[in-house]
Structure 1
Amino acid sequence: MKSEVRSFIASARSIVVKIGSSALTDLREGLDTGRLDQLADALEARMRAGTDVIVVSSGAVSAGIAPLGLKKRPTDLATKQAAASVGQLALAHAWGTSFARFGRTVGQVLLTADDISNRAHHANAQRTLDRLRSLHAVAVVNENDTVATNEIRFGDNDRLAALVAHLAGADALVLLSDVDGLYDGDPRRVLAGRPPAKPVPEVAGPEDLDGVIAGAGGALGTGGMASKLAAARLAADSGVPVLLAAAADADRALSDASVGTAFAARAERLSARKFWVRHAAETSGRLMLDDGAVQAVSRRRSLLSAGIVATSGHYFDGDVVELVDKRGVIHARGVSSYGADDVATMLGHSTSQLPAELRRPVVHADDLVLVH
Structure 2
Amino acid sequence: MTAAALQERSELASAARIVVKVGSSSLTSPDGRLDPERLRALVDVLAARRAAGGQVVLVSSGAIAAAIGPLGLAARPRDLATQQAAASVGQGLLVAHYTKAFADHGLRVGQVLLTADDTVRRGHYRNAHRALTRLLDLGVVPVINENDAVATEEIRFGDNDRLAALVSHMVHADALVLLTDVDSLYTGAPSRPGSRRIARVDGPRDLEGIDVSRRGSAVGTGGMVTKLDSVAIATQTGIPVVLTSAAQAARALAGEDVGTWFSATGRRTSIRLLWLAHAAHTRGRLLLDEGAVRAVVDRRTSLLPAGVTGVEGEFDAGEPVDLVSPEGVVVARGLVAFGADEVPGLLGRSTHDLRTELGAGYDRELVHRDDLVLVRRRR
Give the TM-score normalised by the residue count of structure 1.
0.89
- 2:44 maps to 41
- 1:302 maps to 302
Change (3 A) 1:335 1:78: closer
How much does 1:58 deviate? 1.2
- Using the alignment, how far apart are the partners of 1:70 and 1:10 within structure 2? 41
Which secondary structure does the structure 2 equivalent of 1:252 belong to? helix
1:206-225 equivalent positions in 2, closer than 5 A = 206-214=204-212, 215-225=214-224
How much does 1:152 deviate? 4.1
- 1:193 maps to none
Give the aligned residue type for 2:366.
Answer: V
Give the aligned residue type for 2:51.
Answer: R
Change (3 A) 1:336 1:66: closer
How much does 1:72 deviate? 3.3
Which secondary structure does the structure 1 equivalent of 2:250 belong to? helix
Change (3 A) 1:7 1:370: farther
Which secondary structure does the structure 2 equivalent of 1:211 belong to? coil
Change (3 A) 1:277 1:197: same
Question: What is the aligned-residue RMSD (CA, Å)?
Answer: 2.4
- 2:369 maps to 365
- 2:142 maps to 139
Task: Choose 5-14 or 130-139, whichever is displaced more.
Answer: 5-14
- Using the alignment, how far apart are the partners of 2:210 and 2:178 within structure 1? 18
Change (3 A) 1:304 1:324: same
How much does 1:151 deviate? 4.9
Contact 1:26 1:62 survives alignment (8 Å): no
Task: Choose 308-317 or 71-80, whichever is displaced more.
Answer: 71-80
- Using the alignment, how far apart are the partners of 2:323 and 2:256 within structure 1? 40
Give the aligned residue type for 2:182.
Answer: V
Give the aligned residue type for 1:238.
Answer: T
Q: How many residues align?
A: 367
- Using the alignment, how far apart are the partners of 2:75 and 2:158 within structure 1? 19
Change (3 A) 1:296 1:211: same
Asked whether 1:65 is paired with 2:68, we answer yes
Change (3 A) 1:309 1:83: closer
- 1:311 maps to 311
Contact 2:11 2:255 survives alignment (8 Å): no
Alignment deviations for residues 254-289 of structure 1 (CA, whole Å, 9 cap, x no partner): 121521111122322112332233334443332111
Of 158, 164, 168, 2:167 maps to 164
- 2:53 maps to 50
1:86-101 equivalent positions in 2, closer than 5 A = 86-101=89-104
Give the aligned residue type for 1:207.
Answer: R
Asked whether 1:125 is paired with 2:128, we answer yes
How much does 1:79 deviate? 4.1
- 1:186 maps to 189
How much does 1:17 deviate? 0.3
- Using the alignment, how far apart are the partners of 1:119 and 1:200 within structure 2? 38
- Using the alignment, how far apart are the partners of 1:102 and 1:326 within structure 2? 60
How much does 1:68 deviate? 3.5
Contact 2:304 2:367 survives alignment (8 Å): yes
Alignment deviations for residues 298-349 of structure 1 (CA, whole Å, 9 cap, x no partner): 1222222222212233444433322110122111112333444443233222
Unaligned 5+ segments in structure 1 are 191-195
Give the aligned residue type for 1:336.
Answer: V
Give the aligned residue type for 1:276.
Answer: W
- 2:225 maps to 226
- Using the alignment, how far apart are the partners of 1:149 and 1:343 within structure 2? 26
Change (3 A) 1:329 1:119: farther
Identity across aligned pairs (percent)?
53
- 1:291 maps to 290
Which secondary structure does the structure 1 equivalent of 2:169 belong to? helix
- Using the alignment, how far apart are the partners of 2:72 and 2:311 within structure 1? 51
1:330-345 equivalent positions in 2, closer than 5 A = 330-345=330-345
Task: Choose 111-120 or 91-100, whichever is displaced more.
Answer: 111-120
